[in-house]
Amino acid sequence: MSFPAPDIAVPERVRELARGAALTPVWLNNIGGLTFRTDDGRYIKWGPHDLEANMRDEAERMRWASRWIAVPEVLDQGQDAHQEWLVTIALRGRSAADPRWHDDPERAVRAVGEGLRMLHDALPVDECPWEWSVGSRTAGAAERGTIVPVDLRDAPPVDRLVVCHGDACLPNTLLTDDGVVAGHVDLAALGVADRWADIAVASMSTEWNLGDGWQDTLIDAYGIAPDRERLDYYRRLWNET
């Protein structure tokens, strides 16, 4: 994932959804999907169909999670044979991976850890209709033709079941300019799992966005000591599925 060039081509569907509003590209994912901010307070997410996570699921999960946490309000979601799209109302704040935080990485990292703990504590496991368990993830990978190493089917005992974000990387936590969590985005994989499934990915994402040295800072901000066995396992599971 990366920040797109300002002059990137705007898909025709995005222009239609913008309804004349000015568009600023803000995100490019690894399959060519794009996110744009409009000058009238919306975000338009567009991309080719993704076998791993689709925008229909994302819209459904955001509507459910909005009862307990700050997530974007869904205005429109749709798809055709070649593409899918999602339109939401913009939340205040900007991504924890935004260049604004390059000179103050510790504040951003700690905010992401605190925000993840808030999400885990707020969303009710008993009311969540989805799972993000090891079994569901390995089964999904197999359906996509990915061969998962046999030893990954033997997961560590569950520490604490929570409703996991499912992609708890820095770019998916929004922060105000003073480093307060403003909300969460990209919830297409949200579901019940061991909390370490999220913690492992969130802490690992600090390397992708900020470089070495911040993983344990995020875990400390979450409010728990690092569990090296579970961290290693769930990072491998992420990379293999």
The tens digit of pLDDT for each residue in 31-59 reads 889 999 999 999 999 999 887 789 999 99
Give the pLDDT confidence score for residue 1 in this predicted structure: 52
Cβ–Cβ < 8 Å for 107, 180: no
Cβ–Cβ < 8 Å for 10, 36: yes
* Tens digits of residue pLDDT in 78-116: 999 899 999 999 998 999 999 899 899 999 999 999 999
Contacts for 58 with CB less than 8 Å, ≥ 6 apart: 77, 86, 186, 187, 188
Give the pLDDT confidence score for residue 2 in this predicted structure: 65
- The domain 94-240: what is its CATH number? 3.90.1200.10
Instruction: Please tell me the pTM assigned to this model.
Output: 0.93
Given 3.30.200.20, 3.90.1150.10, 3.40.50.1360, 3.40.50.2000, which CATH number is that of 12-89? 3.30.200.20
Query: Average pLDDT of 55-69?
Result: 97
186 is in an annotated binding site: yes
Residue showing tokens 């309804």? 19
Give the pLDDT confidence score for residue 204 in this predicted structure: 97
Please spell the DSSP secondary structure of the chain, one letter per residue: -BPPPTTPPPPHHHHHHHTT--EEEEEE-TTS-EEEEETTSEEEEEEE--SS--HHHHHHHHHHHTTTS--PPEEEEEE-SSEEEEEEEPPSSEETTSGGGTT-HHHHHHHHHHHHHHHHHHS-GGG---B--HHHHHHHHHHTTPPPPGGGGSPPPPS-EEEE-S---GGGEEE-TTS-EEEE---TT-EEEEHHHHHHHHHHHHHHHH-TT-HHHHHHHHTS---HHHHHHHHHHHHH-
Could you tell me where in the chain the CATH 3.30.200.20 domains are found? 12-89
177 is in an annotated binding site: no
Tokens of residue 91, six digits: 């939340």
Cβ–Cβ < 8 Å for 21, 29: no
Number of CB atoms found within 10 A of residue 3's CB = 14
Instruction: Identify whether 151 is a catalytic site residue.
Output: no
pLDDT band at 165 (very low <50, low <70, confident <90, very high): very high
Could you tell me where in the chain the CATH 3.90.1200.10 domains are found? 94-240
User: Which listed residue (103, 151, 159, 167) is catalytic?
Assistant: 167
